A and B are shown apart, each in its own frame.
Chain A
Amino acid sequence: MPPEVDKAKAFLEKLLSNPMLQGYTPLQREEQILQLFSTQASQLAPILTSKEFFPGKSWTTLLPLLIQALFELTDRDLWATWKPFLDSGLSLSFLPFLTKQAIPESELRAQIATLLKDILQSPEGRRVATGPLTAIQQGGCFKYIDEVFERRSYIHFEITKVQRLRMSKEEIKGILTMTLLLKSSYILFISEGMHTYTDRIAGVIQGSFGEKVIRSLQKRIPLLPLPLWESAIHSNMSFQENRFLEATARLASIFASRYRTFRAGQKVDRGADTPDKSWFNVARKNYKFYGFDIKMLDELYMIAAEMGW
């Protein structure tokens, strides 16, 4: 390994251990560092390219080296958590409810792991995967499923009656996890100049593009039942444009967005509302922009308000 890579990693390790990044997942920390490189480039560049740090390097040659080193460090931390989860922690108990076909679980798990690795190959893939993966890793969204099943209101009706997922809440949590896990896989079909198919700002994709992605992904991993692919890819579509999106897709869309900036153990200042309640209320104002289901947001907001989340 070239010495400057080691040096870059040592520098990045120090940055990653910054107390301000506590409570973030590896991908969130990575995003924070990338933002730092972007916002503080004018200050960082002269220092890092000086003879004390990386002599002979220009910022344009140093930045890719730093980013690559950052990705490697993130992957190291990320896979330390995700490998055991994908190998055994990920519950697939919902599969018999979706297909009568016997599915070899270990093979499926390996295929999902490979897919996730592929997604995380590109910077854009890492960016879009941050929210859904953080939602799974932090696990905060599952407590809402418990409450949804307790209250048996709009979301429960949409899941059990409209989407017809007649199974226990644990299986629903499994489907939601899988939806979130596969949500970013559309990125594998986006190449340079294909932004007409997606709205990068709001994070939504066009319906026709989504259907093509579903067909392609089903070919890639046929072991996974079609409803799961639909739920995963539809979670990137706007509910304002398609009122028939699966309830799990709409939920995944909301939670992926919520957890993109989620920070575990965030201090609630005196006079401020709780993080989830604040986020859901802001999302209610922006629901059209992000293509969220406003009724779901209303219910989640009520849950957060009542539970003090």
Chain B
Amino acid sequence: MKRSFWENLVVGGIILVLLQTVVDDVATLADWPWNMRKILLYLGFLFDLFFTVEFLVRLYLSYVEGQAKEYFFRGFGWIDLLASIPLVLFSSGPVVYGLLAGGVPVFGLGRSLNLLKTVKIVRVARILRVLRMLKVVKQLKQTDSVMAQRHIGKIASSVLTTCILVFSVGSFLIQSVPEHSFEQMYWSSIESACQTLGSAPSAELPTEVKRIASVLPSLLKVKAEGKDLYLRHDSFYLVSRFGPYDYFYEQRGSVELYFDYRPLNRFQAEQSLLIFAIVLGTLLVLLFSYAPHFAVTVTDPLFVMLKGFKEPSYNLEVKIPSHLKNDEVFRLAEQYNEEYLPLKQRNLSTGEMEVSDIKWEAVSELFKKG
């Protein structure tokens, strides 16, 4: 069946949003200039908005047709939901809102564990976009068999959903084990620096700042009583490389501290790319290894038998691989080869079955054409 323009647009959008997600992570890892990363963030938001509207329209139309339940549970509506509204609310939406509100990200307003968790939610929520790959899988005609399509779709959705849920839940669980968490180690070093500098006497502050800056690369800038005490990079570098959520600010008494948040972003981008690679790899294995295997072992022999039952002149046997001969499908195929086809051949000879390869539809077409 030919896909509609809308379906092609959605599939194109899915592929683009996945590309955008990967490129966004690569940009974070490769420390791309902020301007470029900003464009990617806006793009991500536009895609999420597009898919949110698509979900709402589909839901409304299916509701009007009385098919809302069918769409939600069998037509991947749950994927449309998970990969649209939560993203707009918790991921790209807050980021873009922060940018539009004067460059201050919602989660960059203060330092606390909540900040870390919020950023984590944003990153983890982006993984939900990967769920959309299931819709692309559904569109891929890896086989003519409806059964194979549904079977592969079911396995793919189970595996992908499990991967993403395990990753999401696992990320939070790992975070709750401080000794083993990169984020907690990062955070404790920041906390230690803040305490030291916040309690240091004014006279010793410059020495302390130098010492801590040499051992703590995340320390970007220190100000005391409105004057710059320390600046790791020049202003041009800071403006061109740092976005609103690449650093955070902390004040302890008269001391103001700016810390580099990019190491954590990079860590999360690595995790995001890893899960993306796992999901993509799993899908590729399902599509190009499992789907052909399923076809060979289940749908192909069934197709041949079905054709043999339907078409009187079709007399090809089912090919039975010797190592699969004990499979139920091939045991059935053996019965078809050994019993049904010879019987059918004899019936053809006796005239009990009359055969013509010309279908009545083709003949009636002739009459229509005159």
| Cα A255 to Cα B155 with chains together (Å) | 48
Q: Establish whether residues B346 and A286, one from each chain, have CB atoms under 8 Å apart when the complex forms.
A: yes
Contacts A35-B355, A39-B356 given; indicate if A275 touches B316 (C-beta within 8 A): yes
The one of B296, B341, B357, B363 that contacts A44, using a Cβ cutoff of 8 Å: B363
| Cα A281 to Cα B334 with chains together (Å) | 12
Closest CB in chain A relative to B368 CB, distance in Å: 11
Residue of A whose beta carbon sits closest to that of B338: A285
Q: Which residues of the partner chain B approach A18 to less than 8 Å between Cβ atoms?
A: 358, 362
Q: Establish whether residues A282 and B363, one from each chain, have CB atoms under 8 Å apart when the complex forms.
A: no
- Top 9 nearest A-B pairs (CB, nearest first) are A271-B300, A285-B342, A35-B356, A272-B316, A278-B317, A36-B356, A273-B317, A20-B357, A272-B304
Contacts A47-B367, A286-B345 given; indicate if A272 touches B360 (C-beta within 8 A): no
Bitwise, A143-171 to B at CB < 8 A (1) or not (0) is 00000000000000000000000000000
Q: Using a CB-CB cutoff of 8 Å, which residues 335-370 of chain B contact chain A?
A: 337-338, 341-342, 345-346, 348-351, 354-360, 362-364, 366-367
Q: Establish whether residues A203 and B300, one from each chain, have CB atoms under 8 Å apart when the complex forms.
A: no
Q: Which residues of the partner chain A approach B341 to less than 8 Å between Cβ atoms?
A: 278, 282, 285
Q: Establish whether residues B356 and A15, one from each chain, have CB atoms under 8 Å apart when the complex forms.
A: no
Q: Which residues of the partner chain B approach A290 to less than 8 Å between Cβ atoms?
A: 349
| Cα A283 to Cα B338 with chains together (Å) | 10
Q: Which residues of the partner chain B approach A285 to less than 8 Å between Cβ atoms?
A: 338, 341-342
Residue A21 CB within 8 A of the other chain: yes
Residue A14 CB within 8 A of the other chain: yes
Bitwise, A259-301 to B at CB < 8 A (1) or not (0) is 0010000001111111101110111011001100000000000
Interface size classification for chain A: 35 or more
The one of B299, B307, B316, B358 that contacts A20, using a Cβ cutoff of 8 Å: B358
| Cα A167 to Cα B1 with chains together (Å) | 58
| Cα A160 to Cα B340 with chains together (Å) | 37
Q: Which residues of the partner chain B approach A49 to less than 8 Å between Cβ atoms?
A: none
Q: Establish whether residues A32 and B358, one from each chain, have CB atoms under 8 Å apart when the complex forms.
A: yes
The one of B295, B337, B349, B360 that contacts A270, using a Cβ cutoff of 8 Å: B295
Q: Which residues of the partner chain A approach B301 to less than 8 Å between Cβ atoms?
A: 271
Q: Which residues of the partner chain B approach A275 to less than 8 Å between Cβ atoms?
A: 315-316
- Which residues from chain B sit less than 8 Å from chain A, CB to CB? 295-296, 299-301, 303-304, 307, 313, 315-319, 337-338, 341-342, 345-346, 348-351, 354-360, 362-364, 366-367
Residue of A whose beta carbon sits closest to that of B295: A270
Q: Using a CB-CB cutoff of 8 Å, which residues 28-48 of chain A contact chain B?
A: 32-33, 35-36, 38-40, 43-44, 47
| Cα A15 to Cα B360 with chains together (Å) | 11
Closest CB in chain A relative to B60 CB, distance in Å: 41
| Cα A122 to Cα B354 with chains together (Å) | 20
The one of A32, A47, A278, A289 that contacts B356, using a Cβ cutoff of 8 Å: A32
Residue A202 CB within 8 A of the other chain: yes
Q: Which residues of the partner chain B approach A289 to less than 8 Å between Cβ atoms?
A: 346, 349
Residue A201 CB within 8 A of the other chain: yes
| Cα A126 to Cα B332 with chains together (Å) | 38
Q: Establish whether residues A21 and B357, one from each chain, have CB atoms under 8 Å apart when the complex forms.
A: yes
Q: Which residues of the partner chain A approach B345 to less than 8 Å between Cβ atoms?
A: 282-283, 286
Residue A11 CB within 8 A of the other chain: yes
Contacts A269-B303, A271-B301, A279-B315 given; indicate if A36 touches B363 (C-beta within 8 A): yes
| Cα A18 to Cα B356 with chains together (Å) | 12
- Which residues from chain A sit less than 8 Å from chain B, CB to CB? 11, 14-15, 18, 20-21, 32-33, 35-36, 38-40, 43-44, 47, 201-203, 261, 268-275, 277-279, 281-283, 285-286, 289-290
Residue of A whose beta carbon sits closest to that of B342: A285
Contacts A202-B349, A270-B300 given; indicate if A36 touches B315 (C-beta within 8 A): no
The one of A14, A278, A282, A286 that contacts B366, using a Cβ cutoff of 8 Å: A14
| Cα A290 to Cα B102 with chains together (Å) | 91
| Cα A273 to Cα B318 with chains together (Å) | 6
| Cα A15 to Cα B359 with chains together (Å) | 11
Q: Which residues of the partner chain B approach A21 to less than 8 Å between Cβ atoms?
A: 357-358
Q: Establish whether residues B316 and A281, one from each chain, have CB atoms under 8 Å apart when the complex forms.
A: no
Q: Establish whether residues B354 and A39, one from each chain, have CB atoms under 8 Å apart when the complex forms.
A: yes
Q: Which residues of the partner chain B approach A286 to less than 8 Å between Cβ atoms?
A: 342, 345-346
Name 5 extra pairs, CB < 8 A, besides A20-B359, A269-B316, A271-B319: A15-B363, A32-B357, A32-B358, A33-B358, A275-B316
The one of B304, B313, B358 that contacts A36, using a Cβ cutoff of 8 Å: B358
Q: Which residues of the partner chain B approach A15 to less than 8 Å between Cβ atoms?
A: 358, 363, 366
| Cα A36 to Cα B359 with chains together (Å) | 9
Q: Which residues of the partner chain A approach B362 to less than 8 Å between Cβ atoms?
A: 18, 20
Q: Give the residue among A36, A38, A43, A281 with the most B Cβ atoms within 10 A.
A: A36
